């Protein structure tokens, strides 16, 4: 897993590989996915929920603090190899 | 006197059952008597578990909610400062709601079987003490006297109450459950019978016990005080509650219609709003189909900041429900949109979403080495934003099932002071000190990062303060209006934001803190947001759904497509 935290990595990574390794984590579990740049993230989100036994409606997927749309792809979000998709439980309070 | 009370239309077999039931009144009377009506059995036969009944009947959303509360409670209660008491009380109320709905259905069934069984509706009134919409009459009476007056009042009051009930009852209930409807004819006599024992029980055991029989895990005394409190606060909001329940009815109506799909068009109309709905439902079946899984993206699908809201998310705006993050984030974005329009210096504000604070805690609690990499990634949450150039940074705080708000105020250059962190909590539940610590660390992290990147001349903070910024960070717990209940904190946070963006000066000075205080606004104003947000969302959904259906798009998962997009308001 390369460290994508620093911007200089960007150019070299962006060009070649067709597949990206994306980590999906809800803090307790980490699941790694290999996904094509052009594949909709819905696939990955569903797979994660299924594995963890969660209903997709009870969680929110965030990338860099922004909500991830099921129809987004790594391309549209400009994701890099090794990036993390965070899974947040819905918060509730009164 | 129960006998004299009973409508004469019933078969004498029922009279028989009743007598038997009277005989063993002390023990919990099995609801199940009901199912054995054909064989004139006694109350001893546990033919049908009432829990199964509930499961079969209850609005599944409610059930889902209860389940999720259970989970949260199980997983988190040790971590909660109050040991999960608050959560438990919500859970309890949810369950009571479920119980109440069940009771209503029973009574509705009875109603539908031509002879309105008076005692049945009385039960619902007495037992569903938490059902604000329908029970105000009972509510007004002191609890203790209720049981006593119950029998006396039964005769003269029930007729009018029964009719009241019909008016108040959510229209949705009439068509809420296919199960009930299909079996109305067959089941109602049983149910009526079932109702009798229950009402007896109620008399003997006091009105409150019944509704919580199964639902309540807490000691009874505890619960009583609790529901009493809720009552009081509710009564003070009497005016609003009417509106709430009406709205809620509409929503429920729609939801239930979704659930039952096109099975049968039998709908009992109770009030005008429902009327409109039914008219619409001719072409409406299609609309409702769409509504079920409807999602909207606000402000628009293409907006990178957009929030996704499911139709079901609106449910948390029902009376006394806790607000959830999608609703919070929606309204936070809505405020930004409004501010953009009004041309107030919105670019001087920065709003973090509700997940930020939790993420910040994570990032800060790591080891030093890890923290740097983590923070480097975390920084992408506010990519391109220099926090220190903003006038105000809003951070919603979510912890222990409670919402509060932190605001970072960055002063002007001529102010000769450093950032000021404010904490606004409508319940004083959150630990301000630890919030200040986290946000202070956030500012210091950000400062040490920016110090290498940004020339001091680009900063709005005075240079000599910038150099020693960590020492200059101030914090203050702000006295703000307090919520009078345990469910409006989310609304208070949103209202704090709204009022603050409207009233705060371009840059906050120490003296401006006087704008706050316990009298800043009336608590009712914040509570009123519930309806406002509900209306906003309702409209958004209506617009988007109509669009969607008009275009006849199927609800294909693969392409939720542009049709659910909404325009900027």
pLDDT reported for residue B21: 47
The catalytically annotated residue of B59, B109, B129, B425 is B425
- Decide: B258 and B264 in contact? Cβ < 8 Å: no
Cβ contact (<8 Å) for A90 and B325?
Answer: yes
- B415, B489, B549, B563: the catalytic one is B489
SS3 A92: strand
Per-residue pLDDT at B348: 85
Using CB atoms, which residue from B322, B352, B382 is nearest to A92?
B322
Per-residue tokens: B451: 């110090």
Residue A46 lies in a domain: yes
Q: What is the pLDDT of residue B358?
A: 93
Closest CA to B199 of B18, B41, B8: B18
Residue B291's pLDDT is what? 66
Is A30 part of a structural domain of the chain? no
The span from the CA of B316 to the CA of B327, in Å, is 8
Establish, for the pair of chains A and B, how many residue pairs have beta carbons separated by less than 8 Å.
Answer: 82
Q: Determine the Cα–Cα distance for residues B474 and B399; give it in Å rounded to an integer.
A: 23
**C-alpha B137, offset from chain centre:** 24
A75 belongs to a structural domain: yes
Q: Domain for residue A94, yes or no? A: no
Measure in Å the smallest separation between the Cα of A16 and chain B Cα atoms. Answer: 23
| Chain B environment of A27 (Cβ under 8 Å) | 362
| pLDDT (average), residues A41-54 | 90
Residue A57 belongs to domain with CATH number: 3.10.20.90
* Residue in chain A nearest B376 by alpha carbon: A5
pLDDT, position B79: 58
What range defines the domain where residue A64 resides?
A: 40-86
Say if CB B480 and CB B457 are below 8 A apart: no
CA B390/CA B348 separation, integer angstroms: 5
What part of B 292-351 touches A (C-beta under 8 Å)?
297, 301, 304-308, 310, 312, 316, 321-326, 328
Place of tokens 């309204």: B331
ipTM rounded to 2 decimals? 0.80
B416 is catalytic: no
The rounded Cα A35 to chain-centroid distance in angstroms is 10
Is the bond leading into B124 cis (omega within 30 degrees of zero)? Answer: no
A71 shares contact with chain B (CB less than 8 Å): yes
Burial of B117 (0-12, 13-18, 19+ CB in 10 A): buried
| Residues paired with B477 in a beta bridge | B423
Q: Is A86 at the interface with chain B, CB within 8 A? A: yes
Q: Is the dihedral of CA B294, B296, B301, B305 positive or negative?
A: negative
Q: Between A66, A71, A84, which is nearest B560 by CB?
A: A71
DSSP string covering B529-560, please?
HHHHHHHHHHHHHHHHHHHHHHTT----SS--
Check CB contact under 8 Å for A91 and B383. no
| Domain-embedded: residue A64 | yes
Bridge partner list, A20? A35
pLDDT recorded at residue B217: 38
pLDDT of residue B96: 72
Cβ B304–A91 below 8 Å, yes or no? no
- Whether A34 maps to a domain, the answer reads no
| pLDDT computed for residue B75 by the predictor | 61
* pLDDT attached to residue B407: 97
Transcribe B434-448 into DSSP letters: HHHHHHHHHHHHHHH
Q: Check if B89 contacts A (Cβ < 8 Å).
A: no
Cβ contact B541:B291 at 8 Å: yes
Mutate one of A62, A70, A91 to test the B interface: name it (highest B CB count within 10 A). Answer: A91
Q: What is the pLDDT of residue B463?
A: 84
* Greatest C-alpha distance within chain B: 94
Contact A3 B373 (CB under 8 A): yes
- The Cα-based distances of B457 to A61, B196, B454, B464 in angstroms read 39, 81, 8, 11
Contacts with A55 (C-beta within 8 Å, 6 or more apart), sequence order: A49
Q: CB under 8 Å to B34, separation ≥6 — which residues?
A: B47, B48, B187, B190, B191, B193, B194
Q: Say which DSSP state B565 is in.
A: B
A45 domain-assigned = yes
Inter-chain touch A94–B301, beta carbons under 8 Å: no
**DSSP letter (8 states) at residue B300:** -
Asked whether the beta carbons of residue B489 and residue A67 sit closer than 8 angstroms, the reply is: no
Restricting to B residues 235-294, those with a Cβ less than 8 Å away from any Cβ of A are none
Number of independent structural domains in chain A: 1
Question: Residue B398's beta-bridge partner residues?
Answer: B403
Residues of A in contact with B403 (CB under 8 A): 93-94
Token pair listed for B488: 């409006």
Is B402 assigned a catalytic role?
Answer: yes
Q: What is the pLDDT of residue B231?
A: 36
Strand order in the sheet with B402-409: B349-351, B392-399, B402-409, B420-424, B474-478
Radius of gyration of chain B (CA): 28
Residue B110 contacts residue B184 (beta carbons within 8 Å): no
Residue with tokens 């890099």, as numbered in its chain:
A80
Per-residue pLDDT tens, chain B, 569 aa: give them.
Answer: 444 444 444 444 444 455 444 444 444 444 333 333 333 333 333 334 344 434 444 565 566 666 666 666 666 655 565 666 666 766 777 777 776 776 666 555 555 444 443 433 333 343 333 333 433 343 444 444 444 444 444 444 444 444 444 444 444 443 334 343 333 333 333 333 333 333 333 333 333 333 333 333 333 333 333 333 333 333 333 333 333 333 344 344 444 444 433 334 444 333 334 334 333 444 444 555 556 678 888 888 778 788 888 888 999 999 999 999 999 999 999 998 888 887 666 678 999 999 999 999 989 988 888 888 888 889 999 988 899 989 999 999 999 999 999 999 998 888 888 999 999 999 999 999 999 999 999 999 999 999 888 776 777 788 888 989 999 999 999 999 999 998 999 999 999 999 999 888 888 888 888 889 999 999 999 999 999 999 999 998 888 877 766 665 444 444 333 333 333 33
Residue B384: predicted pLDDT = 86
CB nearest to A94's CB, from B310, B373, B489: B489
pLDDT at A61: 93
């Amino acid at each position: 897993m390369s460290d994508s935290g620093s911007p200089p990595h960007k150019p070299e990574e962006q060009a070649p590989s067709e597949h990206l390794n994306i980590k999906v984590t809800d803090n307790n579990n980490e699941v790694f996915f290999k996904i094509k740049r052009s594949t909709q993230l819905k696939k990955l989100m569903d797979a994660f929920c299924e594995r963890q036994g969660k209903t997709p409606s009870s969680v929110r997927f965030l990338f860099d603090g922004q909500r991830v749309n099921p129809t987004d792809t790594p391309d549209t979000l400009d994701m890099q190899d090794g990036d993390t998709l965070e899974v947040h439980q819905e918060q509730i309070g009164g | 006197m129960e006998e004299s009370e009973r409508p004469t239309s019933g078969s004498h077999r029922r009279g028989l059952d009743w007598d038997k039931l009277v005989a063993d009144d002390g023990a919990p009377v099995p609801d199940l008597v009901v199912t054995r009506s054909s064989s004139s059995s006694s109350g001893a036969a546990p033919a049908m578990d009432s829990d199964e009944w509930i499961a079969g009947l209850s609005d599944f959303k409610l059930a889902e909610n209860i389940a999720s509360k259970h989970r949260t409670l199980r997983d988190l209660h040790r971590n909660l400062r109050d040991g999960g008491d608050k959560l438990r009380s919500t859970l309890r109320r949810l369950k009571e709601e479920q119980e109440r709905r069940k009771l209503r259905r029973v009574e509705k069934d009875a109603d539908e079987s031509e002879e309105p069984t008076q005692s049945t509706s009385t039960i619902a009134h007495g037992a569903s003490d938490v059902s604000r919409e329908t029970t105000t009459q009972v509510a007004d009476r002191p609890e203790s006297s209720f049981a006593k007056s119950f029998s006396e009042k039964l005769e003269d009051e029930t007729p009018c109450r029964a009719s009241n009930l019909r008016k108040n009852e959510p229209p949705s209930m009439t068509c809420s459950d296919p199960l009930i409807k299909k079996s109305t004819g067959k089941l109602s006599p049983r149910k009526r019978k079932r109702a009798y024992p229950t009402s007896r029980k109620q008399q003997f055991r006091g009105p409150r016990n019944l509704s919580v029989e199964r639902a309540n895990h807490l000691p009874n005394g505890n619960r009583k005080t609790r529901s009493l409190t809720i009552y009081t606060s509710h009564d003070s909001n009497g005016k609003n509650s009417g509106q709430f329940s009406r709205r809620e009815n509409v929503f429920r109506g729609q939801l239930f219609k979704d659930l039952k799909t096109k099975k049968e068009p039998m709908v009992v109309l109770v009030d005008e709003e429902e009327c409109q709905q039914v008219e619409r439902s001719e072409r409406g079946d299609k609309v409702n189909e769409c509504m079920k899984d409807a999602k909207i993206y606000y402000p628009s699908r293409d907006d990178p900041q957009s929030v996704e809201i499911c139709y079901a998310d609106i449910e948390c705006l029902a009376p006394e429900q806790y607000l959830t993050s999608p609703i919070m984030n929606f309204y936070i974005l809505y405020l930004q949109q409004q501010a953009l329009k009004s041309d107030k210096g919105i670019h001087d504000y920065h709003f973090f979403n509700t997940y930020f604070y939790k993420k910040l805690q994570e990032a800060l609690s790591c080891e030093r080495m890890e923290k740097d990499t983590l923070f480097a990634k975390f920084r992408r949450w506010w990519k391109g934003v220099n926090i220190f150039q903003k006038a105000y940074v809003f951070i919603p705080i979510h912890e222990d099932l409670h919402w509060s708000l932190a605001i970072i105020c960055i002063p002007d250059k001529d102010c000769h002071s450093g950032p000021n962190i404010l904490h606004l909590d409508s319940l004083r539940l959150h630990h301000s000190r630890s919030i200040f610590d986290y946000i202070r660390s956030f500012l210091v992290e950000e400062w040490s990062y920016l110090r290498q990147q940004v020339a001091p001349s680009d900063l709005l903070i005075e240079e000599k303060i910038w150099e020693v910024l960590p020492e200059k960070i101030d914090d203050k717990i702000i006295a703000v209006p307090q919520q009078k209940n345990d469910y409006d904190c989310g609304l208070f946070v949103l209202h704090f934001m709204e009022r603050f963006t409207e009233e705060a000066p371009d840059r906050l000075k120490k003296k401006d803190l006087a704008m706050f205080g316990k009298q800043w606004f009336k608590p009712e104003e914040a509570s009123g947001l519930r309806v406002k947000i509900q209306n906003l969302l309702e409209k958004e959904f209506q617009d988007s759904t109509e669009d969607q259906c008009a275009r006849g798009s199927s609800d294909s998962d693969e392409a939720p497509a542009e049709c659910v997009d909404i325009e900027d308001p």
